[in-house]
Amino acid sequence: MSQEVYLTTPIYYVNDVPHIGHAYCTLATDTLVRYWRKKIGKENVFFLTGTDENSQKTVDAAKASGKDIPEYLDEMAGIWKSTWDQIGVSYDDFIRTTEKRHWGVVNEVFKKIHGKGDIYKDTYVGKYCTGCEAFIKDSELDEHGYCPHHKRPPQLLEEENYFFRLSKYQDELIKWYKNQPEQLMPDSRRNEVMSFIKSGLEDVSISRETAEFGIPLPIDPKHKVYVWFDALINYYSALQGTKYEHFWESAQHIIGKDIIRFHCVIWPAMLMSAGIELPKNVFAHGFFTIDGVKMSKSLGNVISPLELSEKYGNDALRVGLLSSFEFGNDGDFSLAHFDDFYRTKLSGGVGNLFNRVITLFHKLWDGKKPYIEKSQKSGEGWEERFSQALEKKRVKEALDVFFEMVDACNRHINDVQPWKLDPPDARASMNKLLTMLVTLTDMAEVILPESVVKMRKMLGDDEKVGDAEILFERK
């Protein structure tokens, strides 16, 4: 069977509109998807994103907006979807957890886990943070007794809950991670998850008695399925009953480090219990701050991806975000740095290079090309380094290879000054540059999906280069 790749992003909460943190994860996944589509063919790749809608946060946000819940959900899901469309996210499917297709599969998975004897009823007494949509232990609260992420006091709850026997899967999970070290990336995250599992797993509540909205629990409809239990199943439910079911065997989840325990402890244990194959890989990326400060509504420093895309274009948004720091690490984002990156690397780097080379061809030989072997490579292993980085999900490293190559070309033009050379030497030098531009254009198909159209036009046909165009307007 041919190789297949199924990549997913988290499904995002719809209590607010997308910010650049969400766009960061979604564009990184989209970039990996584009790489694989190019390498193994579009039909062998499936890309899922969507929205997480059965949560208390959503109910609260709908109430605050004065709308009824379904109307609010449709409006918000529409905003998320159209944001991804506007910034060039090429998802194959967009799942909403309020869809019937999802509820049906959640019911089936729940019944399998119940059938295995892994669900029981008990009273839960504890603290719940609606921001995290999770129970929170006293030891995890900050010095004021607040949730450290949402800076709010959690809600004290005492209710009848159904529990999932997570503790039963502790040894199986340890064995599974030991046997498949590649399963969870980067390494630092695997170590974190392993020590969490080894410290002892407690059973988790998977229903809410007081939730106002959500999927009724199949065995006791007064209760609602806990939002995380329902949400994780989206990756599986989106494929069920479609011709894409077989993609499940190649599932790879891209997530932020904040939701690692749900994806790397609870989710695999749920699948083990239900007798469903486990995902092939989970990659947890880091979080970024804005000018050194956590991005938050109350601080007023939330940046919309649409704002950046309108000013600088979609390709700049993508590579500007993804080259800020290595995928997997934490880092910082600043508008000043982004603007500088645009001017030096895009407008002054790639744009300038393509413009100069094509203009020189017109000046020196009326646009006529030298003969280039179709299979000719640019040498120095750029393509290999670019591919290897993306296969390891080292997105920034791949972008660095691209920009290193752009810089090498620009340096070559400055140092060699082909227009001053004798015609045969000038031909050889321009031949080399054109070959490198072809390689850069191949890479751009993955990382600069909008500009690549102009780049291809500039490269022209077998005989002549096209017209020189502006790739990145000066700002």
**Strand order, beta sheet including 216-217:** 207-208, 220-225, 216-217
Give the number of residues in contact with ligand ME8, rule: CB under 6 A. 19
Nearer to ligand ME8, 78 or 381 (CB): 78
Beta bridge partners of 217: 220
Among 231, 406, 447, 465, binds ligand ME8 (CB under 6 A): 231
- In the residue annotation, 409 being an active-site residue is answered as no
Where does this chain touch ligand ME8 (CB under 6 A) — which range of 16-24, 36-44, 421-429, 439-447?
A: 16-24
Please, which residue, 288 or 361, has the CB nearer to ligand ME8?
A: 288
Q: Which positions from 44 through 83 interact with ligand ME8, judged by CB under 6 A?
A: 52
Which among 324, 119, 118, 361 is positioned nearest to 220, based on CA atoms? Answer: 119
Torsion of CA 262, 263, 268, 274, to 10 degrees: 70
Active site residue 114: no
Q: How far is the CB of 53 from ligand ME8 (least distance, A)?
A: 9
Catalytic residue at 22? yes
As measured in angstroms, the least distance from the Cβ of 19 to ligand ME8 is 7
For residue 289, the 8-state DSSP code is: E
User: CB neighbours (10 Å) of residue 203?
Assistant: 16
For residue 11, state whether it binds ligand ME8 (rule: CB under 6 A): yes
| CA atoms lying within 13 Å on the CB side of residue 454 | 15
Answer yes or no whether residue 405 interacts with ligand ME8 by CB under 6 A.
Answer: no
How distant, in Å, are the alpha carbons of 95, 112, 114, 205 from that of 217?
Answer: 21, 13, 11, 12
Q: Choose, by CB under 6 A, the member of 4, 5, 7, 13 that binds ligand ME8.
A: 13
Start-end of H helices in 213-280: 227-232, 234-237, 260-261, 267-274
Among positions 146, 196, 244, 287, the unique one binding ligand ME8 when judged by CB under 6 A: 287
Alpha helix locations (H) across 287-367? Answer: 305-312, 314-322, 335-341, 352-365
Instruction: Out of 5, 25, 59, 265, name the contact with ligand ME8 by CB under 6 A.
Output: 25
Closest listed residue to residue 386, CA positions, set 317, 449, 471, 445: 445
Phi first, then psi: what are they for 255, rounded to 5°?
Answer: -140, 170
Per CB under 6 A, does 95 bind ligand ME8? no
- DSSP tag of 185: E
Instruction: Tell me if residue 147 is catalytic.
Output: yes
Q: Which stretch binds ligand ME8 (CB under 6 A): 7-15, 174-182, 268-276, 309-317?
A: 7-15
Number of H helices, E strands in the chain: 18, 15
Q: Which stretch binds ligand ME8 (CB under 6 A): 4-12, 87-95, 358-366, 433-441?
A: 4-12
Out of 19, 127, 253, 263, which one is annotated catalytic?
A: 19
Between residues 268 and 351, which has the closer beta carbon with respect to ligand ME8?
268
Q: Is 295 in the site for ligand ME8 (CB under 6 A)?
A: yes
294 is catalytic: yes
Q: Would you please indicate which residues are annotated as catalytic (active-site) residues? A: 19, 22, 129, 132, 147, 150, 294, 297
Residues that bind ligand ME8 (CB under 6 A): 10-13, 21-22, 24-25, 52, 231-232, 234, 255-256, 258-259, 287-288, 295
